[in-house]
Amino acid sequence: MTLYSEDDLLPISALQHLLFCERQCALIHIEQVWSENQFTAEGRVLHERVDGGERQARNGLRIERAVPLRSLRLGLSGKSDVVEYHRDDVGNWRPYPVEYKRGRPKAANWDQVQLCAQAICLEEMLACAVPEAALFYGKNRRRQVVRIGDQLRRETEEAARRLHALIRSGLTPPARYAKKCESCSLMNLCMPRVAGAGKSVARYLAQVFAEVP
């Protein structure tokens, strides 16, 4: 099994960028471009509130916040918003990561892949099994339990491989407009309607300047 070095580690959060849009992922993690909109600002505030909460402990439960994570097998690092430690029947503490999201559950499984990566990190760090975790969505104020099963693990491992391949390439994929672009904070920098497949930014700009009186 190949292990990544500490210098090769990429952010766990980049998995969600990759699965949402490879061009967005490259703009953020290769070109170091970032812009905030209402959605990212609300998400940032939510995470700051959760991460800044107090540690808690009561009978059979411990709660840790902003827990550092790392997996040399996946080549990823980051932190979990919350890790609950539940005491099992034989007295051992079992970690249970909880990721907070500002919106609602999505049709795609981007959030589940990010959460699975956190679970794999905890398994590697603590030498234990993490069969289950949860996503908490701010809009409906509910938890969604996520089973960390074989299929989700394979999807997460494949996403991590794709992420490393994209970053190693140093290439930003071309823009392709889709409905989801409207919610992306980088839309004005990416210009998918203008710079999409088969479109020339230079030709577009020449047309704009030609129309200026």
- pLDDT tens digits, residue range 61-75? 999 999 999 999 999
Distance CA(77)–CA(33), nearest Å, equals: 20
168 and 183 part of one domain: no
152 and 195 part of one domain: no
Mean pLDDT of 158-180: 94
83 and 160 part of one domain: yes
Helix (H, G, I), strand (E, B) or coil at 90: coil
Helix (H, G, I), strand (E, B) or coil at 180: helix
10 and 65 part of one domain: yes
198 and 166 part of one domain: no
Does 89 map to a domain?
yes
Distance CA(178)–CA(75), nearest Å, equals: 30
Tens digits of residue pLDDT in 24-63: 999 999 998 876 555 454 445 555 565 555 666 677 799 9
Which helix (H) or strand (E) segment holds residue 114: the answer is helix 110-126
* Backbone CA torsion sign across 183, 187, 192, 193: positive
63 and 77 part of one domain: yes
CA angle 97, 62, 50 (to 5 degrees): 55
Does 1 map to a domain?
no
Number of domains into which the chain is organized: 2
Specify the pTM: 0.81
Q: pLDDT-based confidence at 199, cuts 50/70/90? A: very low
Does 127 map to a domain?
yes
193 and 154 part of one domain: no
> Domain limits at 31?
6-172
87 and 113 part of one domain: yes
Range with the poorest average pLDDT among 5-14, 30-39, 85-94, 118-127: 30-39
189 and 91 part of one domain: no
199 HSE (CA, 13 A, CB side): 17
pLDDT score, position 59: 76
Does 61 map to a domain?
yes
85 and 151 part of one domain: yes
User: What CATH number is given to the structural domain containing 152?
Assistant: 3.90.320.10
Q: What is the DSSP letter of 181?
A: G
83 and 142 part of one domain: yes
182 and 147 part of one domain: no
Does 66 map to a domain?
yes
Does 83 map to a domain?
yes
